Amino acid sequence: GWAGFNVCLLCFRKQQLKTNREEGILRGDRGPKVIPELTSAQYFWRSVLLCWGFKWTLVVAVLCVVLTQLARVTMPSYQGEIINTIISRRADAFSSKMAAFVALSVTCSLFGSIQSLAVEIVQRRITCDMRTVMFESLVRQDIAFYDGTMIGQLTSRMTNDVAAVVQPVRQIMNTLFANLILLAGGLFMCFVTSWKLTVLASTMIGPVVFLTGVYAGWSKKINMKIRVSMADANAVATEALRNIRTVRSFGADDMETAGFRVHMDDALRCGLKDAYASAGVSAATRYLDFAATILILWYGGHEVIDEGDSAEISVGQLITFNLYWNMLNNSIQSLNGMLNTLVRA
């Protein structure tokens, strides 16, 4: 007789799938290490700890944010009063309101520039520190970790993934405090200007938040698949180029190219799905925003036209409310988008 091995093709495929799922996980000499997935709150607090090393620069940025947004909250009120003074032809009041509006604009621009500088400094420091800490962690890993991980995947994590993870940190600094102030100030001023218009327009906020939240949860899975595919493609390219003599010796050029193309096609396919879904959600939210604007102008316009001088709001107040509502709506969308970015990261 002759000796050999009998292999069940179905069992081999199951074992191969299991091996593929286990590749790249954190391993030690005692076996795989289970690392729980970070929640949005845990990610946020880790971002705060990363910024703590530059706390004084961060304090300057926060102070500039507060001053800039307070000036922005006050400016629409002056714009409405300027319109009213033009309609009533009061030259003295017009000059004083214009002077105050110009002063607020200059203040907003000055502190906004300082804020951008401080945020840029912190952003670059965080990126540098994260890559350094990641490299230190990789160097301390057990040898068993490298047995199940390709070097190309690790280099992709240190470049592409770190950039994707650090990006929300910058958005937190640029949008979190600013939009919280705009949200609180805009909501307060909307109620002060016209509580009826505020209640009417608020009916369109809920659907927008719900749609973007559902999309963020779905997009998180898609973006994870894209990163995995890009990391696999980078691993194939790194290993093939590093061992190019072996590849040429066995004539495996086409095989390596085909493997690289498969991973890139997977990433492109997932990216196109995310792009189509993003476009659909964006269209739906834009139509809801247009509906809210139409409700404000329709109800407010009829209020001014039908009631005349006895109307609860004037033309200037209607313009002021529209400006405050746009400010409120933009802050809600920015905060919602930032939280969705954290979910996808």
- How confident is the model at residue 120, as a pLDDT? 82
Q: How confident is the model at residue 272 (pLDDT cuts 50, 70, 90)?
A: very high
162 domain-assigned: yes
Q: How confident is the model at residue 150 (pLDDT cuts 50, 70, 90)?
A: confident
Domain at 112, CATH number = 1.20.1560.10
Cα angle: 199, vertex 202, 208; to 5 degrees: 170
Q: What contacts 234, CB < 8 A, 6 or more positions away?
A: 152, 153, 155, 156, 160
Tens digit of each residue's pLDDT (9 = 90 or more) over 36-82: 666 767 766 777 777 777 778 878 888 888 888 888 888 888 888 89
Residue 205 lies in a domain: yes
Residues 115, 250, single domain; the answer is no
CB neighbour list of residue 151: distance below 8 Å, 6 or more residues apart: 235, 238, 239, 242
| Under 8 Å between Cβ of 56 and 125 | no
Model confidence over 178-198: pLDDT tens digits? Answer: 888 888 888 898 888 888 888
Q: Is the pTM of this model over 0.85?
A: no
- In a 10 Å sphere around its CB, with 0-12 CB exposed, 13-18 middle and 19+ buried, how is residue 91 labelled? exposed
Number of structural domains the chain divides into: 2
Instruction: Give the pLDDT band (50/70/90) at residue 341.
Output: low
Residue 132 lies in a domain: yes
Out of 193, 224, 247, a domain closes at 193
**Residues 273, 131 within the same domain:** no
pLDDT, residue 169, reads 64
Q: Are residues 143 and 64 in the same domain?
A: yes
Q: How confident is the model over 277-290, as pLDDT tens digits?
A: 888 888 888 888 88
Tell me if 274 is assigned to some domain: yes
Angstrom distance (rounded) from CA 294 to CA 296: 5
Q: What is the C-alpha separation between 238 and 222, in angstroms, rounded?
A: 24
> Residue 1 above 50 pLDDT?
no
Looking at 162, 193, 224, the residue that finishes a domain is 193
Compute how many other C-beta atoms are within 10 angstroms of the C-beta atom of residue 274: 19
Assigned token pair, 9: 């093709």
Query: Three-class SS of residue 314?
Result: coil
Indicate if 143 and 207 belong to the same structural domain. Answer: no
Separation of alpha carbons 119 and 113, rounded Å: 10
Q: Residues 210, 307: one domain?
A: yes
Task: Say what the pLDDT of residue 5 is.
Answer: 46
Residue 14 has pLDDT above 60, yes or no: no
188 and 45 in one domain?
Answer: yes
Work out the pLDDT band at 333, boundaries 50, 70, 90: confident
In a domain, 145, yes or no: yes
Give the C-alpha separation, 146 to 156, whole Å.
15
Between 258 and 62, residue with greater pLDDT: 258
Full domain range(s) for residue 56? 40-193
